[in-house]
Structure 1
Amino acid sequence: MRSALIVDDHPVVRAAVRIVLQAEGFQHIHEASSGSEVVSLIRKHSPQLVVLDLQLPTLDGLDVLARIRGNELPCRVLVFTSHDPAFYQERCLRAGAMAFVTKTNQLQQLHKAIQAVMSGYTYFTALTDSVGTLNPLHSTEKQMINQLSDRELNIFVQLGQGRANKTIAEEMHLSHKTISTYKTRLMKKLGIKAAVHLRDFARRNHLI
């Protein structure tokens, strides 16, 4: 019998994904609303497929992918997220995901991705090389973002959303000082002179 685990902090999204999975013949479907639950639930239920969002409380999706790989858990991971594939798809591929589908697509894309992954294939968006169509500023900014580590990117997006250092630190189980260090490092790497410009930089590159 086919089994799956849905990892998303929005109940409506989980309900929609459940319907798709049931239509694809999954009889046992489990759910998680935070990243910290995933490894233990995979060990408990041994799902063949994990449908994973990237923006999660306590542990983001890229960290979850790293833990799944680090623990050598035998499951196939399909990333289903609202994040821009231009910045996240390759990271997910490198981390071991077999598919990447954006939530802005129709659910038919999710059906196709599930069918591909369960047949042993990968399912990723063919990204056009848009560097030539961007002005030099945007081209350089995209390159700088791509050079960030997964954790740096995660913290950068949260800072861009206007979240306080203390809040980020608590949710990521890090110290306030560590987040401050990341913030300083990000500003240096991205060439940002003042913290107030982090939001503009993130919005300009469609990260928030």
Structure 2
Amino acid sequence: MHSAELAERYPTAIVDRNVLFVDDGDLVTSAGTAAGIDASLHLVRRELGSTVTNKIARRMVVPPQRDGGQRQYIEQPIPTRCSEGFAPQLDWILSNLDKPHTVASMARRANMSARTFARRFVDEAGTTPMQWVTDQRVLYARRMLEETDLDVDRIAERAGFGTATLLRHHFRRIVGVTPSDYRRRFARSA
């Protein structure tokens, strides 16, 4: 709300009006009170990783990361609207991201027709089954970029993309930066 005034008062400061918070290494600033929570969770992620951050966010009943123009920080946990009966299907997919998945194969595992599965998945998860799988693969790749030294080819294989080219395509589309740029910024060793 006050970004124009801030930029005017402090002309030497770089003011980014399109983000919830800015991480400049030793200095982290947020856009407001709720964005302070986002910045805090970002610091936890930076220092302790995504797993700890997700646990804290669930306990706080907030998303691990909100989209505020900072697509590289978006976290996509298991949808909270999923029914108890449907959750095992999502858990199985998450445990087997490296395997090929189609709507038909997921529907067979759920003992549903492909059409019913797809409709019910959208109702419960808020997105199509294949987009959800792709999002989860990118999220897994993001964690590996943060927490391992594996090369992009190996990460692509483990995340279920098969090739680094396909991983780069989806990663850039969803996260907004290349995997190597993301790793430079968010790897633990950084």
Give the alignment's TM-score, normalised by structure 2: 0.34
Bigger CA radius of gyration: 2
Compare the two structures and name the one with the higher strand fraction.
Answer: 1
Give the alignment's TM-score, normalised by structure 1: 0.32
